[in-house]
């Protein structure tokens, strides 16, 4: 999927320890990009960096901790020469009715999914500006468009990401392309961390027909491989059996 103009760029992927982030790291590395794998679970990202080999580095970082993101950016600058692509993928989905007693989980989703992406972008912005043309890829969700019961806080983070990305596009393009990817049901570990029993059961039932994370990774790899003169602004990708 790579084009000559895009191969060999440096991609920073948050939440690269599992699911869509890990699959994206594999897809971008296969296309010839060098990749910086960011996540909290150091063992996972080190194993993936070993698997990907030369040009892949593992950088333990928590997107809710600005100091750790700043330290990660310094390593990316020092070891890979700076980022050309930032994939804001780190996220948690701790669905539960908003009226339930799960305030900490609601706030954690906002801190991780929305404020974490904003922090990471702000920290890496200078690096994205310095190359031949940067790419910002924000992983939103179908839940940035459709909000079933139990998704109030999660949908707020993804709706927020969509609105933030729309405004960023106006501010940052043409220098930095801003792309929003809105996956439907993808078979990952995302629902493992849900604590509300009914919400967890509903999310687990979806895994019966969810599609694999490399399907989304392929779309991301395609989007960043397009010539800089065009931008795939917003891409909604759902399993064919998922109509809404």
End-to-end CA distance of the chain: 29
| Catalytic entry in 139, 154, 157, 225 | 154
Interface with ligand NDP: number of residues (CB under 6 A): 31
State yes or no: residue 24 binds ligand NDP (CB under 6 A). Answer: no
State yes or no: residue 20 binds ligand NDP (CB under 6 A). Answer: yes
Site for ligand NDP in 83-122 (CB under 6 A): 89-93, 112-113, 116
* Residue 50 C-beta: closest distance to ligand NDP, Å: 16
Instruction: Please name every residue paired with 183 in a beta bridge, in sequence order, or none if there are none.
Output: 237
Helix, strand, coil percentages for the chain (3-state, nearest 5): 50, 15, 35
Each residue 148-187 as x (binds ligand NDP by CB under 6 A) or -, in order, gives -----------------------------------x-xx-
State yes or no: residue 134 binds ligand NDP (CB under 6 A). Answer: no
Dihedral, CA atoms, 70, 89, 43, 74, nearest 10 degrees?
-20
Between 130 and 236, name the residue whose CB sits nearer to ligand NDP: 236
CB < 8 Å & 24+ apart, contacts of 64-72:
64/111, 64/112, 64/115, 64/116, 64/119, 66/119, 66/123, 69/119, 69/120, 69/123, 70/123, 72/12, 72/36, 72/38, 72/123
* Residue 217 C-beta: closest distance to ligand NDP, Å: 10
State yes or no: residue 69 binds ligand NDP (CB under 6 A). Answer: no
Could you confirm whether 154 is annotated as catalytic?
A: yes
State yes or no: residue 223 binds ligand NDP (CB under 6 A). Answer: no
Separation between Cα atoms, residue 57 and residue 225, nearest integer Å: 21
Instruction: Please name every residue paired with 234 in a beta bridge, in sequence order, or none if there are none.
Output: 180
Task: Name the site residues for ligand NDP (rule: CB under 6 A).
Answer: 14-15, 17-21, 39-41, 44, 62-64, 89-93, 112-113, 116, 139, 141, 183, 185-186, 188-190, 213
For the annotated catalytic residues, the residue numbers are 154
């Amino acid at each position: 999927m790579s084009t000559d103009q895009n191969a060999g760029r440096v991609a920073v992927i948050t939440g690269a320890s599992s699911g869509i982030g890990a699959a994206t790291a594999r897809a971008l590395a296969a296309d010839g990009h060098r990749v910086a794998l960011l996540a909290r679970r150091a063992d996972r990202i080190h194993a993936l960096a070993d698997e990907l080999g030369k040009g892949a580095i593992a950088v333990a970082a928590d997107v809710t901790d600005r100091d750790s993101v700043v330290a990660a950016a310094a390593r990316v600058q020092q070891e890979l020469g700076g980022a050309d692509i930032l994939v804001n993928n780190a996220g948690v989905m701790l669905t539960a009715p908003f009226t339930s007693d799960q305030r900490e989980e609601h706030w954690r989703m906002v801190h991780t999914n929305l404020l974490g992406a904003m922090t990471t972008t702000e920290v890496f912005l200078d690096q994205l500006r310095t190359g031949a043309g940067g790419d910002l890829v924000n992983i939103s969700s179908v839940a940035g468009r459709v909000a079933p019961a139990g998704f109030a806080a999660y949908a707020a983070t993804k709706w927020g990401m969509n609105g933030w990305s729309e405004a960023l596009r106006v501010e940052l393009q043409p220098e930095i392309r801003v792309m929003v990817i809105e996956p439907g049901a993808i078979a990952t570990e995302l629902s493992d961390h849900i604590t509300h029993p009914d919400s967890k059961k509903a999310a687990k039932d979806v895994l019966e027909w969810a599609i694999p994370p490399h399907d989304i990774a392929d779309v991301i790899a395609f989007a960043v491989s397009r010539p800089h003169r065009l931008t795939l602004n917003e891409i909604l990708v759902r399993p064919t059996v998922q109509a809404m």
